Structure 1
Amino acid sequence: MVNCIKNEILPADRKPFIFDTLSVGNDLAFEYWSEAVSAHFSPTQNTTVSSRSCFQGRMEIFPLGILNVSHLHTSAMRNVRDLWSLRNIPNDDFFVMAINAGVGGQLSQLGRQLFLGPGDLMVYDSAREFSFEYLGETDLYIAQVPRRLLEARIKDPQSIIARAITHTNPLASMLLTMIKSFTQLDQSSKVESRNALSKSFVDILVSSLECSLDFTDLSNTHCNLLERAKKIVNINLDDPDFHVGQLAQTLGASPRTLCRIFAAEGTTVTKYLWQNRLLMAHNLITEGRIKQVGQIALQCGFSDFSHFSRAFKKEFNASPKQLLSTHST
């Protein structure tokens, strides 16, 4: 099936192309989707936590000058681009991912981890190892940007990788609106105009990233401190009394220093702690290890069950009880 898909990458007239799992039987749905996303984005190893026969996905690919813009709707799944994929199926493009609706997911790349929810946007690098896990049904847009375009506009592309522009930032809304509008353009417009538009988008993207992200250079000492801090936070996710002051005391660092090193990754200590507690709870539910909401809340450091349920629903667009019921059937 992969060879068939690759031969259909984009027709000569550059019209939009559609992949939909409804076009194949349920038994082939996940295999079809897995091969489609690997052929059109970064070749990855793909898995799903739910039954393959229940998987659903739809993808529309819209060429825009030197970019490809895609609109996807997918069930929960995990994509991993490992060393084997990098060596055997190279691809060095950058990808801009913007979550439009649904649950969202978690990216791991360059030692950074971030959760993307509706309205959030980030860039990942297909020339480096990464994993992305869609934590539930998600609607999103992806713009594929040739490496040379981004590298010509920013001194250190690594500084923008795996760092989110969140939905609270008006620039994230602007970029998502632009990407959406590209899927609605008249495909018969002049090639020169579409090329100019695609290059202008990359200019605006880079400027938005530079305005939104903290590019404070961290010394090796502070980088090591950040990694130690993350490990300590993750070890203490189940402790409801764990706080920034306790972390600072354990590390022998000031709270101000901790604020600065976490800000360099576009987050705060408290946000990192809460997001990882909620991700831990989500994983416990989807893996079927615990069946009671109260027990999950306690194991993930929440003493107030109502507060836990509200925070969980806000993050994943479904309450813990709803997700438990989905994974118990």
Structure 2
Amino acid sequence: MQVERRRFPRETKPSDEHPAPPPALKPLRFSTRDLEPAQQFSAWQSYVAPLVDIRRPDSIPTDTGFVADHAVWNLGGMLVVQQSTPAHSYMRSEAKVRSSPIDHWHISVLRGGRTWTEVGGHVSEGEPGNVELRSLGHPFRGRSTDAQTLSLYLPRELLHPASAVEIKNNIALVGTRAKLLIDYLDGVETKLALLAEADLSHVVQTVRDLILACVASSSAHVSSPEQSSALPLKERVHRFVQHNLMSPDLTTDRLCRELGVSRTRLYQAFETDGGVHHYIQRRRLLSAHAALSDTSNRQQIGDIAFAAGFSSAAHFSRAFSKEFGYSPREARTSGMPSNIGYSVEPVAEAETGQSFDTWLRTLGHNRRA
């Protein structure tokens, strides 16, 4: 005789786990894929114009297509960029360095292809397995084959070591620690769409520590006074300005007095930045831009101007419009219009009212808590 077995649902214990926090990042995307082939290269030229000037190889007809893809993830203290491009040459000229307030470190990892980049007569060769480190505050030029690249943009002060040693520019990091960095970046890249707000600062800090570990384990730093005579002064000025940005008496005379340098030496160190006064004003404008772009900031535009060290709202408005190409009110209401500075509007852009140029300019001035 068969006995019927009753099946009862298993009791479920209440879970103590909290629901996963929502993803914090939404990428800013640009692609030339949906444009006519004859328009693709000019669209890409316009898109990267704030950073570099580019050219196609002379052997390629001008009407040939240029299929390029670009995705930017803003972690607050670092930008992560996934990029795919056909062969081209690129240049960040002295004139562009002077006109552009972008002086970040650029870290690149090639997934496929080759690059050759020259700075001051030294050529760094990029290939899969290497980590290239380059300053955007100095001119460079180079060329690339068809390539897929993962890039990081970090504020200059983020990679300043605890010691007075300066990092060399335009170098390739190799070895075990470089491979560990690449492995970590591989993991971060696969999880970008899943990162929560609380994860971002930890990712930025870990990347910073791994990069500095790579530098410390190689000859990728400068220790001789002859090689680093100008850089330590600029770094000291940069730190002092950042710490005293809102001070109304942040002047050239105060910098000379506090840092113990002559006015002549200070001017020489910042000649490529348009002068010390221009450098300070640019930093203040970037800080004000970050405040205006912050949707949680309820301050009036005039209050933001005064907080950034400007004594006149009218002067602030003129300087802001000259620097960014749009007014403080436009930055407050809609961010930077996506088509400003571009001859062709991005094909697929995140609904943020922002642009790659804006994110580069304000990187480090609007970090997530």
Aligned to 1:87: 98
Cα deviation digits, residues 279-317 of structure 1 (max 9, x gap): xxxxxxxxxxxxxxxxxxxxxxxxxxxxxxxxxxxxxxx
Larger Rg: 2
Q: Quick check: 1:62–1:183 contact (8 Å CA) kept in 2?
A: no
Of the three residues 161, 169, 172, the one matched with 1:161 is: 169
Of the three residues 41, 55, 73, the one matched with 2:66 is: 55
Of the three residues 135, 151, 163, the one matched with 1:142 is: 151
Deviation at 1:106, TM superposition (A): 0.5
Cα deviation digits, residues 130-180 of structure 1 (max 9, x gap): 11210x2111110001111112556343x33211123xx232322222223
Aligned to 2:122: 112
Q: State the TM-score, normalized to the length of structure 1.
A: 0.56
Q: Quick check: 1:105–1:116 contact (8 Å CA) kept in 2?
A: yes
List gaps (5 residues or longer) in structure 1.
1-12, 222-329
Amino acid at match of 2:108: M
Cα deviation digits, residues 87-117 of structure 1 (max 9, x gap): 2222111100111112x11011143212111
Q: Number of matched residues?
A: 201
Amino acid at match of 2:119: Q
Counterpart secondary structure, 1:119: coil
Aligned to 2:359: none
Of the three residues 38, 46, 53, the one matched with 2:54 is: 46
Q: Quick check: 2:77–2:201 contact (8 Å CA) kept in 1?
A: yes
List gaps (5 residues or longer) in structure 2.
1-23, 228-369
Matched, 1:200 2:209: no
Matched, 1:190 2:199: no
Amino acid at match of 2:188: F
Q: Which structure ranks higher in relative contact order (CA pairs < 8 Å, sequence separation ≥ 6)?
A: 2
Counterpart secondary structure, 1:164: strand
Task: For 1:1-329, list aligned pairs within 5 A.
Answer: 14-39=25-50, 43-49=51-57, 50-52=60-62, 53-102=64-113, 104-134=114-144, 136-151=145-160, 153=162, 155-157=164-166, 159-166=167-174, 169-187=175-193, 189-213=195-219, 215=221
Q: Quick check: 2:165–2:222 contact (8 Å CA) kept in 1?
A: no
Q: Return the alpha-carbon distance in structure 2 between the equivalents of residues 95 and 214 of structure 1.
A: 15
Q: Quick check: 1:65–1:191 contact (8 Å CA) kept in 2?
A: no
Cα deviation digits, residues 33-87 of structure 1 (max 9, x gap): 1222334xxx222111123423221112122341111111111111111111112
Q: Return the alpha-carbon distance in structure 1 between the equivalents of residues 70 and 31 of structure 2.
A: 6
Q: Quick check: 1:94–1:123 contact (8 Å CA) kept in 2?
A: yes
Q: Return the alpha-carbon distance in structure 2 between the equivalents of residues 178 and 132 of structure 1.
A: 27
Deviation at 1:211, TM superposition (A): 0.6
Cα deviation digits, residues 8-33 of structure 1 (max 9, x gap): xxxxx740122222021111111111
Counterpart secondary structure, 1:92: coil
**Percent of aligned pairs sharing the same letter:** 15
Q: Return the alpha-carbon distance in structure 2 between the equivalents of residues 131 and 85 of structure 1.
A: 12
Q: Return the alpha-carbon distance in structure 1 between the equivalents of residues 133 and 220 of structure 2.
A: 15
